[in-house]
Structure 1
């Protein structure tokens, strides 16, 4: 079944919402050089003892020092299953000013089934790594704070209907899935997002799909199961990259 280029472009432009990757300041380099003040007294034989406020606060070291290659964080087999007609099977990487601290990748495609209509799919994953900082806290603590904020953002998706949040055990240290529906481009889209934390890294994953021109809308379960599978692979890739 043929479609005009403008129609296809409009589908791809509209279906990518919400985009999970945001320009978050995840790198945490902090100048923590000595800041002790006061000059030594030449007539005194005893060195001044730093007060508690002058001492450097000890924090737990960050668990992970780097991120995986983001577009390889999800297996080719999973991509083929979830986005069978991806325009770029290798994924499209998001721009990042610091790939050691944040990165993202996305796959999307429209599978034309002729008189049976078409199936659209979109999958994206984002990673945020937090370093330990004497002032801001450990990388794990900072990632836990980010996890809470990112989950709240997904739950506040404008226009979301039938939204439900469920714990996703077995994915990192903590994970939750958020499933909902959105009406876009005159079609009903099914969404499943997973927010996960593993050590000092937060992983955000979104998977959505819709049927066009009479094609059946994918089921809630299929979309959610796909998102959970991809999220589990993405989280596992963090540990693998740091071995």
Structure 2
């Protein structure tokens, strides 16, 4: 009896020394491994990921992105209202065209807006927009009809912008005209603004200078990006 009491005391002390989670084992519980049971605080299912928030959820009318003064300066004799080329998704895409002929001087300007939403499989709206902007820039040099392509960054326009100058020839009946052109691609959040500006001198008119075409396109791009706000 003395030895049995001593063994009981040793067992009691041993159980008191182990962590609380093992006390049940020491006290002769059911013997089941409680650690294998799912925790009641952990949900068996997780909520699906949500798309990242975007900066812009709508787009302005592309024909209202430029002031009357800018249109008059850049495209003389153009209709101030411009021609909205239309889109089934006005909050996702839109383009406006202004064109005019002042004597023998021809000018044409387009402002295109493209907005991207976030998608859990395709990426955030800003990531998708950045990819599209890169494609718009690269497309100029990939076109074999474009000559003297020059690409430079344009600071202070959206999050980032690129201005590309180039020359091309277009047929007007049997006659070929020399055109100077400029494309400005600006990224602002999840929206890409693409401005195309071109000029030519018909008949006895002179081909416009590269400087005039570049300045006109960049002026329009800066104003169009501000119109997003």
Query: What's the TM-score once normalised by structure 2's chain length?
Result: 0.77
State the match for 1:108 in structure 2: 99
Corresponding residue to 1:148 among 100, 109, 134:
134
State the match for 1:49 in structure 2: 44
Work out the CA distance in 2 between the residues paired with 1:169 and 1:157.
25
Greater shift in the superposed pair: 181-190 or 197-206: 181-190
Q: Does 1:235 align with 2:225?
A: yes
Unaligned runs of 5+ in 1: 1-43, 113-117
Computing the radius of gyration from Cα coordinates, the structure with the larger value is 2
| Aligned-residue offset at 1:214 | 1.4
After TM superposition, list the pairs within 5 Å mapping 1:160-179 onto structure 2. 160-179=146-165
State the match for 1:95 in structure 2: 86
Conserved 8 A contact 2:66-2:224? yes
State the match for 2:108 in structure 1: 122
Work out the CA distance in 2 between the residues paired with 1:95 and 1:120.
24
Conserved 8 A contact 1:165-1:176? yes
Cα deviation digits, residues 200-231 of structure 1 (max 9, x gap): 00011100001111112110001001100000
Q: Following superposition, which runs of at least 4 residues in structure 1 exceed 6 angstroms of deviation? A: none
What value does the CA root-mean-square deviation take over the aligned residues? 1.8
Tell me the matched-pair count.
Answer: 187
**Structure 2 counterpart SS, 1:205:** strand
Unaligned runs of 5+ in 2: 1-37
**Structure 2 counterpart SS, 1:238:** coil
Query: What's the TM-score once normalised by structure 1's chain length?
Result: 0.73
Conserved 8 A contact 2:140-2:146? no
Cα deviation digits, residues 108-154 of structure 1 (max 9, x gap): 11112xxxxx1000000100001112222211111111111111112
